[in-house]
Copies of this chain bind each other. A is one copy, B any other.
Amino acid sequence: MDNTSLTTGGFTLPGEAGYETLTLELAKKWGADVIRDSDGTQLSSEITESDYDIYSTLCLVRADNEWAKANPTKLQQCCVMSEPVTADGETVTVDLLKGYFKEQLVINSDDDPKEWWQVFDRTSGEEVSTDCWSFDKEKGSVTIESAIKWHRYTVNFFCYRIWEEISMYNHVTNDWGDKEHLMPIDPIHPEARDQIREYLAKWLADHPNTKVVRLTSMFYNFWWFWGDPAKQRFIVNDWGSYEFSVSTEAIRQFEKQFGYRPKSEDFINAGLYNNSYKVPSKLYRDWMDFINQLVVSFGKECVDRIHEAGKLAFVFYNDHWIGIEPYNERFKDFGFDGIIDGIFNGFETRKVAECPAVNVRELRMHPYLFPTGVNGEPSFLPGGKPTEECKRYWTDIRRALLRKGCDRIGFGGYLHLVENHPDFVDYIEELGNEFRQLRGLHQAGAPEELPLKVAILSAWGNTRAWACCGHFNHGNYYNEAMESVSGLAAETVFISFDDILEKGIDPSIDVIINAGIVDDSWSGGEYWKNPSIVEALSAFIGEGGGFIGIGEPSSQRHGSQYFQLAHIMGVDREIGLTSAFNRPGFEVVSDHFITADTDASLDLGKTVDSIYLTDTSAKVLAAKGNSPTIAVNEFAKGRCVYLAGHTYEAKNLRVLLRALFWAAGKESLVEKGFSSNLYCECAYYPKSGKLVVINNSSEPQTTSISTASGAIEISLEPNASKIIDQPSPV
């Protein structure tokens, strides 16, 4: 692959049989070096035998539906909580699948319900004895005897999943009609692994022109319950949750390895399941480890077969990505050659860009070439504005790409949908060239980083580096802050509370960010009850570290304060139990380093209310009524910034950047490659002697960039970038 050209290469085009001319025309115009197929499209021999490299998608767990149909007990499973039913008498009957999509789930009655299932009285919180309930296989219901009137009952039960979810989504979204439903088989079973081995061998033989096997992905999809279509299409969707790796057989094998047996309630957690917002329990971490082992060991075997066939193995960082965990230790064992993810934002860009142990990192851009976009936008439907959409995403992605490079971009879906959008066709040509320019700069040498090391602290730590719960979760303080940080020239690491408990806080860290709300995995939840955590943070800050708390940092209903670092941040939150207390008044300090570039129009977006000063030491830089929204405090040798909210947006971004400088005690960094205009940012590539300046807004902007050799004035068209010769450092 040519990776020095500025007009060709590093671009993956989705080809489409029946549109061979279009495929080859666009491949040329967009500078593609690779053509791929997608779910729902094939490549004809006219394409596969062209001069382009061929990526072929392959999803091993849904690849052979005949085998799946013949082996229904080897399908993937999951554990489900029925909708609660309120008892109106001593007997209550629960229709297990009520509210769920019956084309996705069927009840597993092969494994003895009395052994595997649990029935709960959710009003009392107590389990109902197995003697007191019975399962009616015919009706798909459980009947509870000696129920207590008015109590709510739920049943935890196991299901087979009979429609592989990504295929189901593509099928339903694109109206594939009576096309057969594909079913996912479970490699926890040796028979399923044998079948996959056999299928893969045949597939490799059948695809001589394929250069890259694009695995989408390995074996287990992220968690995605669908609802009764008449009432609610989607019930829950969590990119990070392992609920679809749960099965009776996996539990049996887990027990053999870990010496204890999870119960259904360990996966259900009273309806919370093990979702990404929940602080992971010890059991759930063990479960993730168990699944990770299986996925890596069998995954490596598959990758080895692909390599033996002379092909490369790229993995899609999505769909069936559960158990792959690129940021964990074992990932390198797979031997993947490349990783690809479908992304919209800066943080997702960094997630791909910093993925270890692969040679190729590829961004699959949006809009996906489907009539309706993955985020619900009417991209290629009447009224859709694919160019505008793509430009919006690219502007966010580019910020991050300035800091860490990727090797390739690409699209997916039905290529023919672009036919009616000549502006889109032209824009993608332009975008491809802009991407290649940035790639070239990174290839020559990394951009300058500020001497500022930022650690984002959550219960997940590096396991969910540059990730939250899927695509951008707007309004989530953690995700908003991470998106903002993704485009800053600061070294960024992700640390967990367990990291702190095990090895303390790395003294090279300048500032720790903790963002989230009470009890969630992002703020850290119950970890804040652990005195060792408070000690470690206190020592870090007290000895000169910086701390930025966003939303409800360090919050927990524990002890004599709600923010466990209230005494350090100088602010706490009134949660309604101490309303009789008077709190110190304050005046908003209008002149401060952190807010120097903003004015009263600064809007932090959604903010946490009822914040008060614990004493008179903190300074308030902004407030909504009586509730501070930005407050700064000094604690021993360290500095804290409290933000009642944060939204990824230019003014907030600037406040966060300055807060990082201030908290680190490195205010002078404002003189280093700083854009006077907050809608613009820049990066300096010393090896190339180039300064890249970007306009993040859809208006023209002029900015002055401070460099070692003086300020430079630059004007930029809407959303544009400029590359400027700059031999001396910024």
Contact = CB atoms under 8 A, between A and B. Distances in A.
Interface string A221-249: 00100010001111111100100000000
Q: Which of A272, A277, A559 has the most CB of B within 10 A?
A: A559
B86 A567 contact: yes
Interface in A119-171: 121-125, 148-152, 154
B150 A534 contact: yes
A616 B233 CA distance: 13
A150 B615 CA distance: 18
Nearest to A542: B150
A5 interface: no
A173 interface: no
From A149, A154, A517, A577, name the one whose CB has the most chain B CB atoms within 10 angstroms. A577
Contact of A560 (B150, B152, B232): B152
Nearest to A616: B231
Contact of A238 (B223, B564, B580, B636): B580
A83 to B, nearest CB: 8
B518 A576 contact: yes
Contacts of A81: 560
* A interface bracket (residues with beta carbon within 8 Å of B): 35 or more
A276 interface: yes
A272 B151 contact: no
Given A560-B84, A567-B84, A616-B231, A580 B152 contact: no
| Shortest Cβ-Cβ A-B pairs, 7 listed | A150-B538, A238-B580, A271-B560, A270-B560, A234-B582, A517-B576, A124-B531
Interface in A10-38: none
A578 interface: yes
20 contacts: A83-B615, A84-B560, A125-B558, A125-B559, A148-B535, A149-B538, A150-B535, A150-B542, A152-B567, A231-B616, A232-B584, A234-B582, A238-B580, A270-B559, A271-B560, A271-B561, A272-B578, A275-B577, A470-B580, A519-B575
Contacts of A490: none
A106 interface: no
B150 A275 contact: no
A232 B614 CA distance: 11
Contacts of A668: none
A418 interface: no
Given A559-B270, A560-B271, A567-B86, A535 B151 contact: yes
Interface string A612-640: 00011000000000000000000010000
Contact of A534 (B84, B123, B580): B123
A560 B121 CA distance: 10
Given A236-B580, A531-B148, A581-B236, A86 B538 contact: yes
Interface string A245-271: 000000000000000000000000011
A559 B559 CA distance: 23
Contacts of A681: none
B149 A535 contact: yes
Q: From DSSP, what is the main secondary structure of chain A's interface residues?
A: loop
Contacts of A270: 559-560
Interface in A174-209: none
A492 interface: no
A539 interface: yes
A396 interface: no
Contacts of A542: 88, 150
A579 interface: yes
A148 B148 CA distance: 50
Interface string A542-562: 100000000000000111110
Contacts of A576: 277, 516-520
B580 A531 contact: no
Interface string A78-112: 00010110101000000000010000000000000
Given A152-B567, A559-B270, A582 B237 contact: yes
Contact of A469 (B88, B236, B580): B580
Given A469-B579, A576-B277, A582-B232, A559 B150 contact: no
Nearest to A231: B616
Interface string A264-291: 0000001110011110000000000000
Contacts of A83: 615
Contacts of A519: 557, 575-577
Interface string A530-542: 0100110011001
A476 interface: yes
Of the candidates A276, A564, A579, A615, the one having the most CB atoms from chain B within 10 angstroms of its own CB is A579
Contacts of A233: 582
Contact of A277 (B235, B557, B578): B578
A559 B121 CA distance: 9
A580 B275 contact: yes
A473 interface: yes
